[in-house]
Structure 1
Amino acid sequence: MSNDELYIKRCIELAQKALGKTYPNPLVGSVIVHNGNIIGEGYHHKAGQPHAEINAINSVENKDLIPESTIYVSLEPCAHYGKTPPCALKIKELGFKKVVIGAMDSHDKVNGKGKKIIQDAGIEVVSGILEQECIELNKRFFTYHEKKRPYIILKWAESGDGFMDKDFKPTAISNSLVNQFVHQLRADEHAILVGTQTAINDNPGLTVRNAEGVNPIRILIDFELKVPGDFKIYNDEAQTLVINSVKEETENNIKFIKIEKENFLPDLMATLYKEQIQSIIIEGGKYTLQQFIDNGLWDEAIVIKNDGLKLENGTQAPEFTYIIDKIEKYSDNLIYFFRFQ
């Protein structure tokens, strides 16, 4: 591994510390190196706060070393004025010797402009270092901007004989280790979605309890508004979008959005894009999950299996025939990970 790759790897590690906290901004890490020594590092903590490069610059004790230093950044420095001034201009102003970029930013406000500002200032720029890893780090951000929809993760648990419940009643399938994993997943993603049936049967809160992090935005698909208003999904613990065909209104943390049943999935994607939702876990029941599967509308799937549990009768798990990407063992449960190819 080259030195450039080592430092970009460090940028990625730093960026990951803020997973789930930077929406709608991407995850970015930055490292400043002088004569082979790291003299500054930083990452973007959350939207509205300084970007990674600025945090890295601020952490440098001896600012006189900056003109002889290289700044590494996992994503192309921004070129637009948002809540903070453009990082590309700051890099130019301080006159770094060299800039090394992991991935270029496909977002239309940046897209090569940051790199150009720096190059035009006569600073050497190298880009595309560990590019795949840097794109993977921001798969949510890139999917959202390029496909105009959130990054979609399907998730369900099934018994050894392929059922999601016993006799159509809520049934615990996964163990406590897996439950912790699921709560961490919720903290890492932007939103979580369930359908009417799941909300009525399980009365889920869909919040993060057994892990550190922010509650995801809850999305309830409930066309006829059948889910009672005193159910947990309507509590004030998280922002909630209720997709329905009855009304359009906002009350405190609950926003009702009207969509017709016809052309539902494309309309839902357009709505979530407009609401700036970058990633979503589909935790719905069989019917909801199957719609996404049948339409090839997903990026990752996480299937929890408890092989020792036989339920014999109930809701059958979705029909899903894809090649497994990897398997992880959590005591007596297995988690299968899939990627849409």
Structure 2
Amino acid sequence: MASTDLGTGAPVAAAELTAMRRALALALRGPASDPNPRVGCVLLGPDGEVRGEGWHRGAGTPHAEVAALADAAARGLPTEGATAVVTLEPCNHTGRTGPCSEALIAAGVARVVVSVDDPNPVASGGVERLRSAGVDVQTGVLTAEGRAVLGAWLPSVERGRPFVTLKIAMSLDGRIAAADGSSRWITSEVSRHHAHDLRAEVDAIAVGTGTALVDDPSLTARNAAGELHGHQPLRVVVGHRDVPADARLRGPGGELVHLRTHDPAQVLAELHARDVRHVLVEGGPTLAAAFVRAGLVDELHAYVAPVLLGSGPSAMADLGVVSIGDAVRLTTRSVIPLGPDVLVVATIDPPSPTEEP
């Protein structure tokens, strides 16, 4: 059987690579918005045949490895001597569920193939525990694909704060509203549907009090028919002014959280304490600039419409840029046509190192 050596442990067999791709596809069945990661697992017999499959269905449910073991049991297939192919290092701690490392050991699994090491210090250590029990472990298999499936969860855990996506919807000349304040609608219906799908994948949406008072948004995630998605993110208002009692933010949708601060770092700390992994900052320009100045934007989604306004509020407030050398530079990751509009997905480049005199 063909094999490839991709890291520690015995070489990876072709059947294990196929199983890892299947495990990654299974992982994507899990909820995009959840404190826990999307994980998939496939159990293989000695000849590479599938004995069980599983994925994590959300916080409080069995982890992917345990689900795969249960699937094997339901099929009446043994797990003794099996290989577990899993997208994330098996956990080694007891939370709402027990350690997956111990479950695999108890099931007699002989080998474990892992895509991504778990960066969470609370849950990591599964590889060491498995090896100490005599289980052969191969790590680093299809790691890029594994990281992509984990999405915002992975950098959130690595950085100890929510992953921040800054969303801007603007005219071609960088305006978010006309001179009279009207802004519905600069972008197309196609773009708005896309933005609602993004809302349905995040844990929280944040706006400043200015946007809350002027635009009176509902900050809900809706489908094309205008119905609420099953998952509704937290609705976060940042600033000191009160949210009116009759505001749409108090209507149907996610929980309203009012954070009376102007400090983006404090906002993220409070959301992290609520197990928020991914926050979408939607505005307005003052809040957007505050997050950019603080260096706390991980990804920018700019919906750009082929519209010229010439005046009106700009998409970004003052960033303190005096000369072109001070400009905040970004790297474009993708450009997606959305009807007449385009979505530019970009990341902010790190500042250039200061040259020594």
TM-score norm. by structure 2 comes to 0.84
The CA deviation at 1:148 is 2.0
SS at match of 1:146: helix
Alignment of 1:1-341 (within 5 A): 2-21=14-33, 23-34=34-45, 35-60=47-72, 61-111=74-124, 113-167=125-179, 168-210=181-223, 212-225=229-242, 227-244=243-260, 259=261, 261=262, 264-307=263-306, 309-318=307-316, 321-341=329-349
User: Contact 2:65 / 2:86 at 8 angstroms: preserved in 1?
Assistant: yes
- How big is the shift at 1:3? 4.1
**What whole-Å deviation, never above 9, does each CA across 1:254-310 have from its counterpart, x for those lacking one?**
xxxxx4x4xx22222222222221110000111111111222211111001112x22
Task: Report the Cα offset of residue 18 of structure 1.
Answer: 1.9
In the alignment of these two chains, the number of paired residues is 320
Amino acid corresponding to residue 40 of structure 2 in structure 1: G
Q: Which amino acid aligns with 2:175?
A: F
Cα distance in 1, alignment partners of residues 102 and 113 from structure 2 = 15
Evaluate the alpha carbon distance shift between residue 151 and residue 269 of structure 1 in structure 2; reply closer, same or farther with a 3 A threshold: same
Aligned equivalents of 1:327, 1:6: Cα separation in 2: 31
- Kindly indicate whether the alpha-carbon contact (under 8 Å) linking 1:157 and 1:303 is maintained by their aligned counterparts in 2: yes
SS in 2 for 1:25: coil
Amino acid at match of 1:335: L
Is contact 2:115-2:139 (8 Å) kept? yes
Q: Separation in 2 of the partners of 1:306 and 1:321?
A: 21
Q: CA deviation at 1:62?
A: 4.2
Q: Distance in 2 between matches of 1:333 and 1:77?
A: 43
What is the distance in 2 between the residues matched to 1:48 and 1:222?
A: 33
Shift of 1:9: 2.4
CA, structure 1 residues 141+323, in 2 after alignment: closer, same or farther (shift >3 Å)?
closer
Counterpart of 1:290, as a letter, is A
Q: Which residue identity does 1:17 align to in structure 2?
A: R
User: How much has 1:192 moved relative to structure 2?
Assistant: 0.6
TM-score (norm 1): 0.88
The residue identity in structure 2 corresponding to 1:266 is A
**What letter corresponds to residue 216 of structure 1 in structure 2?**
P
Contact 1:18–1:45 (Cα < 8 Å) also in 2 = yes
Query: What amino acid maps onto 1:131 in structure 2?
Result: T
Contact in 1 for aligned 2:196/2:221 (Cα 8 Å): yes
CA distance in 2, matches of 1:102, 1:314: 49
Question: What is the CA–CA distance in structure 2 between the aligned matches of 1:275 and 1:62, rounded to whole Å?
Answer: 39
Aligned AA (1:59): D
- Compared CA separation, residues 178 and 6, structure 1 to 2 (3 A): farther
* Residue segments in structure 2 that go unaligned for 5+ positions in a row: 5-13, 320-327, 350-357
In structure 2, the CA distance between the partners of 1:58 and 1:155, relative to structure 1 (3 Å rule), is same
CA RMSD in angstroms comes to 2.0
The share of aligned pairs that are identical, in percent, is 28
| Deviation at residue 64 of structure 1 after TM alignment | 4.0
Superposed displacement of residue 236, structure 1: 4.7
How far has the Cα of 1:106 moved from its partner? 1.3
